[in-house]
Structure 1
Amino acid sequence: MRTLLFLAFFSNVAFAQITGKIITPKREAVPFVNVLLLAASDSSLVSGTTTNEGGNYQLLLPKMGRFYLKISGVGYQTRFSEAFEVNASKSTIALADLTLLEEENTLNEVQVSTKKELVQTTPLGKIINVQSSLMTKGSNALQVLERLPGVISDRRNNQFSLNGQSGVTIMFNGRKVQMPMEELMALLENTVADNIEKIELITSPTAQYDADGGAGIINIIFKNNELLGTKINFSATAGYGYKEKVLTTIGISHGVKKLNLNASYSFNHDVRKSGYAGDGTAGASFMLGETYNTFYGIARRYQNNHNLNFAAQYQPNPKTTLGVDFVGSFDKSHNLVNNGGTYQLKRGDFFEVAMLSDGLTTKQNNISSFYLKQTFSPKTQFNADFSYINYSNNSPAGISLEYFDEQKQPIKPQFSIFTYGNRGESISKIHVGVFKADLTTQFSEKINADFGIKTSFAQNENDSKVERKVNDTWEIDPRSQSQLKSLERIAAAYSQFKFLLNAKTNLLLGLRYEYWKRDFSNQEEVFEISKFFPSVLYTYAINQNTSVNFNYSRRISRPAYTDLISNLFYTDPTFIFSGNPLLKPTLSDILKIEYVKNGLSLGISAQYDLNPILRYQITSNATKDVGISSPQNLDYMKSLNLFLSYPFQLAKWWKVTLNTFTSLRDYKVSYSQFPAEKRYVFQNLNFSQQINLPKNVEVELSGWYNMPYFEGPNTIKGFGVANVGIAKKLKNDKGTLLLTLPDVFRSFSVHSHNGGMTPIAFDINTVSNWRDETVFYRVIKLTYARTFGKNTRSVKYDAKDEERERF
């Protein structure tokens, strides 16, 4: 009764109400497109609105007559409905679902005038149409993510942050990729960006999404053409930096009346170089006493990678869709890493160590899925999805060491921890099975509901050992990692209700329950959490192009299994790398309000993170003689954030998209020598400029910059990157030539100061500088792309099926 009174209070008085839904050929909702009601007699505008998150719209009509709808949105073909009659006999008219098709123009054809907007804002976050960026060609998925607004990729520590917040969930085609972040970043490096259609940055997720990821969700959507006919896309990239780079991609799409097939294959050969160098001091409690150290690491990787994407979709009737998709990669790389440094002891001893690591890594990843979409009626739809992840990694490596005195003469070190060689092998296997089902139904003209369940089972196996050379004999290092098996089970259920309060206002209330359990073969302790996660999304459309969104959500960031294991391994004899079995998950509460107008997005949010996780933090063991690098929890982090996204046209031929994120933060760290609190301002800038020149030439300038910030007890200096791309469309549809210069100013350099905010274990006070390949060498890439064949139209049923019975 209260719900009915609430709805009645917010409803407007009108003669008639028209409702409906806008969908894609796959029957997916099309949110935030314009729906105009036009008079059939003279095409004059009568009323207008935009679709909500679920693709639904509602129009209030103050008069009778004959009308039709005009639906339009950026990146979609304009659609007109059939004319319909409105008379006094009906106060509510529910129209059949209308299908909206995407524009057929692609980057390969470089039809610049009708490309999708690079960045589109939604109440849930942003949609990045990466194929609208010239820099996508010849890139991998990780490089594309690093160029997105608000996304920070920390290759030193193998982690992502979104708008400066840690705890990011990565999804492929709406399915969570459940693997440790090190493996996930390697997978993204091995994923060719040419196969990606768009990327969703979901910073305000609702209950239908996994609760994992306190900072939000990055959803990578791969291409899946649904048009009739046959089309072949081909591109080849040649480049040079440290050494050669070659990338070739071929994609085929074929559509008939009820069946669509899409397949693509890519081969990538890349030789790259990156490295770090630094120096600093350690206190008297360190195993060597007080020392001054220098250190460095230079990595060279010779990589060959194969990518295969496949998708098939079959519609036996207008109400049923069956589909399968597959994403697979096979990567083999030869890794050479030179590590070393000097040790100057306070008591006068000096020695230098030089290490060479020679490893061969073989990785294979397959993600396969089967899904069903069933429309029971215009009011009720059901989706079911099963996916399976199979990942394997074999990384044998050998390390040889040499020691020298100040005169560069070979010596034998006095300390037993320094050996003359290491060798080892790490074999990892991950198996994940996930099933989820969702039901969407419309209770009335003003109330929609979604219900869903999800269950997943993950098995992680690692079998590794490290041997060290002692007196010409190989023996197993007792500190090395050994056999380990982890089992993880997640069960979830959610419900969310969408209320159409009036023609301009929507309210979404959601509640998600998740149960998480993880255990390890070598530990008695079991990690188990059972929690509810509420969400609220309120949207008010001021007019056709202006809206205000309010969002609240609670999230969780679970530690990866590799972050929890207590087994030890090392690359430097003085430091051990370990997991932290006492690590806690992060709980996040986020409150956000956003104003959107004609592409402009301006918002403010407040976020509270309890126990945020930072990786590779330096602590000590119980006896205070060995340094430990492991993940740790901050006590808390409080953030007040201001964000702005603004596309503007400087001239008819020159468009700029600007994104900024500013955050005032308070946090507390207690795993340092002394508990400490810090307040600071974090600032991220991201921009893209598209310039259309005569003779079918387009130029793109893009880049990002992070102001200085703090990372637990450490400080990071500001750093950023600028990129340039130039495309030339050849005459007579002969293809496109594209020249790209990533990191044109060779500035991708990350300067960190361990202990820069507050003293850490052993009074370690070091500075280091990590540099990408583009800093060492000028990287240049040239791509040729061409499309063969042509798609004609979308898969469509007869008119009687397209305009189904109204209710």
Structure 2
Amino acid sequence: MKTTILIAAIFFSGLTFAQEKKQDTLKTKSIEGVTLTKQVFKKQSDRFVYDVAASPGAKGNTTFDLLKQTPLLSTTDDKTLKIVGKNNALIYINGRKTNMDAESLTQFLKNTPAENIQKIEVITVPGSEYQVESSDGIINIILKKKMSDGTSGNMRMSNTQNKYNANSASFSVNYRKDKLGINANLSGGENINPQTYILRNGTDKMQNESVGDIDDPNKNLGGYLNIDYQLTEKSNLALSWNSWANKSYNSTIDLYNTLIQPDKDGVMTTKHTWTKNKEDSRNYNNSVNLNYEIKLDSLGSKFNANAAYLNYKRFQFSNNNTLVYDNQNEITTGKTITQNIPQIINNFSGMVDYIQKFKNDFTFSVGGNFNKTKTDNDTQNYNYLFVNEQGEHIPNVQPDPDFNHFIYDENIYGAYLTLEKKFSDKFSGKVGARYEITNSLGTADSPTHEIESQRHQRIERNYNNLLPYLSFNYAINDKNNVSYSFSSRMRRPSFWELNPVRNYITDFNYTQNNPFVKASSTYNQELTYMYKNSYFLILNHSYMKDQITQVPLQGYVKSVDGKIGDQNVLRYIRTNFGDKQEMSAMLGIQKSLFKQYLTLNFNAGVQHNINNGTLAQDPTTGDTFVDKEGNPLIYRNNIKSTSLVITSNNTIRLDKKKTWFLGVNYFYVDKQQIELGMLKNLMSLDLSIKKNWNDWTFAVNLNDVLRTNVVEIEDYQANGNYNYIKNDMYRRSVNVSITYNFGNQKVKKVRDIESASDAIKNRTR
């Protein structure tokens, strides 16, 4: 398979150069044979720019589909977008970061038509002016700016079939009259996210396997309202309100568990249990932002001020049941764990930016931000024992309660300074630095905890960070360009990661969040070479210190008082897990051929990962893990891996009138070592057909045609522990959509503003 792909890559590269040579010879022909085209993909200073308006076939796509076809961008799970195959990217719209949790953002992008997008900026190494949560790269979507007064909008409906059927719809409208602009959107959908799991873990002396399904029904409804008013010729006032709601009731986990282990006499015994979990949850995300902007001169100098408020609420109730079978395969006893896990986040934010431009192509920027956040997590757990499948409780036995009220307060003060200079038509550079002060306090009140020292905990953490940035861009000539960037960033833990709660998969298999997680640091270097704005080579090195991730610890639990449990347990613990390096080299082509009948977007490269982490103790409880004889078990990941990464997104125009388009998209990611073990290779072939007819667009998409996009992770430890995960999310699907554009398509878009609370919103994901 790899050989075939490489041969195809070489063929397309050769075909491209041949086509270029052929087009050069056509320059001597008559003017009727010349096709003038804009540069679709180019490098500008600190970012790559993809001109969507100049790209054929963009009409009728969703924003998410368009992002998947953008050079340097890819997705393997159809949810999160990656830049150059690594790390998840943050989504901005006209310099303003989107304000939704990950699931809501995905649904929003999939429901939003792409007709109004002018270009997409890919910022692989963000500068100092971006708040530090932007360490993973930024995708900035620039909307078209149209000048005429009037009203316009679009409507879109779609239906998707995988294991289940799903539907969605959206309605957008834009209005402008003189100094007033209004932009509104309403979108929603209903779907069931299906998953099939195979979970295996154990040692050389015991085996545990869980097989079954997870179904997560979702209903989404959300939208935004942006109002922009021009106070004077130089100043504007804007008010933005965003809202998104999700309801997921009757989400189920249905797993059949088989445990094989020796009894006290050393005889191997088999125990069967059945996990039947049910969860009801809903979340609400509301934010409002007030922005004032004034232009200071004709060169582009300006002053910006923002004030914002964010309120995020999540309510989650789960009922986790474990049924125990006897030798006749009949239920004998069981256990129920009920959990009530609410989370409320309130954030007040402010941000100012001052940008001064000079006639000698010098730009001076300075700014600051303040964020005050409080999260309230009042978790309640109850453990019940029952005697039959109907869940009848054992008489006179009270439930075992477990309460934890975790409150987290955080204040962030930040300031940045950047200097940018264009020395000549060929050479430009930018330097900057951001300084941030973080003061945080977490208090955990657990009155039912069996250990006195952990009933009332106070976690105070204050730290300062100086984060430098450097970049330069050199245009050797009109065909060759080289650039370099260095950035020092940090990643604070998401608020849900800090909430010390367990989410149960089975009775002895669960995830554990961690209030002791601290911010991690990232250092990025990138060297880029581009030829004719169509061919590029990107060399990247990233070093992550104290990376935040999820680590599996398993064995018999040894508590801080020296007691050892009688059951093998597997905990997926959120924690800081050592250091990691990623090195990559990516070759790419973005080119239109045969008078734009074929648009080729091809990337191929290698990525080398160096992992260096160990974990011996659950940082939330102090528990350690031992084998049957009491020997300590330590999880280690110091494995290196080198993998091949390929993405190919191709659009074929089928007629002269530009009304029929065929899409052929493919990605392949070779096996690579991640924190949980060795992730086996992933690939997907997606096909689409689209018809544009007047103001209507009809499209059919076939995703993961070969059903090869299934996650498998396998890990073997030197101490005998092993862990295996196979997760099928039914990504093979058929999607049918209809889009209609109406009104005056020359309406000027409302000015989009970066909210003061955008960095905080990202951490609710």
TM-score norm. by structure 1 comes to 0.74
Report what 2:15 is aligned to: none
Report what 2:471 is aligned to: 537
Report what 1:375 is aligned to: 295
- Is the counterpart of residue 764 in structure 1 residue 725 in structure 2? no
Deviation at 1:648, TM superposition (A): 2.3
The structure, 1 or 2, with the larger RCO (C-alpha pairs under 8 Å, 6+ apart) is 2
Q: Distance in 2 between matches of 1:701 and 1:167?
A: 24
**For this pair of structures, how many residues does the alignment match?**
657
Counterpart of 1:527 (choices 457, 461, 470) is 461
Deviation at 1:229, TM superposition (A): 1.9
Contact 2:551 2:676 in 1 (8 A): no
- Is the counterpart of residue 790 in structure 1 residue 710 in structure 2? no
- Is the counterpart of residue 686 in structure 1 residue 647 in structure 2? yes
Q: Distance in 1 between matches of 2:482 and 2:235?
A: 36
Deviation at 1:352, TM superposition (A): 1.4
Q: What RMSD, in angstroms, separates the aligned Cα atoms of the two structures?
A: 3.4
Q: Provide the secondary structure at the position in 2 that maps to 1:204.
A: coil
Q: Distance in 2 between matches of 1:687 and 1:553?
A: 29
Q: Which amino acid aligns with 2:662?
A: V
Contact 2:609 2:673 in 1 (8 A): no
Q: Distance in 2 between matches of 1:339 and 1:117?
A: 53
User: Deviations 1:157-184 (Å, cap 9, x if unpaired)?
Assistant: x9886546557655565455688xxx53
Report what 2:434 is aligned to: 512
Report what 2:5 is aligned to: none
Q: Distance in 1 between matches of 2:462 and 2:59?
A: 41
Deviation at 1:513, TM superposition (A): 0.5
User: Deviations 1:626-684 (Å, cap 9, x if unpaired)?
Assistant: 43321233432233321233112343311110123422232212226375533221332
Q: Distance in 1 between matches of 2:494 and 2:351?
A: 22
Contact 1:356 1:401 in 2 (8 A): yes
Counterpart of 1:340 (choices 243, 251, 256) is 256
Q: Provide the secondary structure at the position in 2 that maps to 1:188.
A: helix
Deviation at 1:345, TM superposition (A): 1.7
Report what 1:613 is aligned to: 548
Q: Distance in 2 between matches of 1:140 and 1:425?
A: 36
Percent same amino acid among aligned pairs?
A: 17
Q: Distance in 1 between matches of 2:84 and 2:154?
A: 35
- Assess, with a 3 A threshold, how the Cα gap between structure 1 residues 235 and 188 changes in structure 2: closer, same or farther: closer
Q: Distance in 1 between matches of 2:162 and 2:584?
A: 38
Q: How does 1:220-239 map to 2 (within 5 A)?
A: 227-239=148-160
Stretches of structure 2 that go unaligned for 5 or more consecutive residues are 1-34, 387-392, 445-456, 617-633, 751-765
Report what 1:109 is aligned to: none
User: Deviations 1:569-628 (Å, cap 9, x if unpaired)?
Assistant: 533222343233443432222222211232322121222222222224335654464433
Deviation at 1:206, TM superposition (A): 1.0
Q: Distance in 2 between matches of 1:722 and 1:294?
A: 31
Q: How does 1:404-483 map to 2 (within 5 A)?
A: 404-405=325-326, 407-412=328-333, 419-471=334-386, 472=393, 477=400, 480=402, 482-483=404-405
Report what 1:720 is aligned to: 683
Q: Which amino acid aligns with 1:497?
A: L
Counterpart of 1:366 (choices 280, 286, 300) is 286
Q: Which amino acid aligns with 1:715?
A: M
Deviation at 1:399, TM superposition (A): 3.0
Contact 2:220 2:247 in 1 (8 A): yes
Contact 2:552 2:570 in 1 (8 A): no
Q: How does 1:129-208 map to 2 (within 5 A)?
A: 149-151=72-74, 162-163=83-84, 165-166=86-87, 169=90, 171=92, 174-175=95-96, 183-189=101-107, 192-194=110-112, 197=117, 200-208=121-129
Q: Distance in 2 between matches of 1:391 and 1:520?
A: 18
Q: Provide the secondary structure at the position in 2 that maps to 1:563.
A: helix
Q: Distance in 1 between matches of 2:695 and 2:425?
A: 49
- Assess, with a 3 A threshold, how the Cα gap between structure 1 residues 167 and 579 changes in structure 2: closer, same or farther: farther
User: Deviations 1:758-782 (Å, cap 9, x if unpaired)?
Assistant: 447xx4313221011235xxx2221
Report what 2:615 is aligned to: 671
Report what 2:705 is aligned to: 744
Deviation at 1:693, TM superposition (A): 0.6
Q: Distance in 1 between matches of 2:309 and 2:546?
A: 31
User: Deviations 1:501-547 (Å, cap 9, x if unpaired)?
Assistant: 22221111101101122221213221222011111111112234542
Q: Distance in 2 between matches of 1:782 and 1:213?
A: 34
Report what 1:636 is aligned to: 579
Contact 2:104 2:246 in 1 (8 A): no
Q: Distance in 2 between matches of 1:149 and 1:387?
A: 33
Contact 1:339 1:356 in 2 (8 A): yes
Report what 1:385 is aligned to: 306
Q: Provide the secondary structure at the position in 2 that maps to 1:670.
A: strand
Q: Distance in 2 between matches of 1:252 and 1:687?
A: 34
Report what 2:517 is aligned to: 583
Report what 1:705 is aligned to: 668
Q: Provide the secondary structure at the position in 1 that maps to 2:102.
A: helix
Higher mean Cα deviation, 160-169 or 235-244?
A: 160-169
Deviation at 1:709, TM superposition (A): 0.4
Q: Distance in 2 between matches of 1:747 and 1:360?
A: 31
- Assess, with a 3 A threshold, how the Cα gap between structure 1 residues 727 and 241 changes in structure 2: closer, same or farther: same
- Assess, with a 3 A threshold, how the Cα gap between structure 1 residues 328 and 226 changes in structure 2: closer, same or farther: farther
Q: Which amino acid aligns with 1:589?
A: Y
TM-score norm. by structure 2 comes to 0.78
Higher mean Cα deviation, 335-344 or 196-205?
A: 196-205
- Is the counterpart of residue 248 in structure 1 residue 169 in structure 2? yes
Higher mean Cα deviation, 359-368 or 617-626?
A: 617-626
Contact 1:148 1:686 in 2 (8 A): no
Contact 1:388 1:434 in 2 (8 A): yes
Report what 2:493 is aligned to: 559
- Assess, with a 3 A threshold, how the Cα gap between structure 1 residues 631 and 396 changes in structure 2: closer, same or farther: closer
Deviation at 1:344, TM superposition (A): 1.5
Q: Distance in 1 between matches of 2:326 and 2:70?
A: 45
Q: Which amino acid aligns with 2:469?
A: S
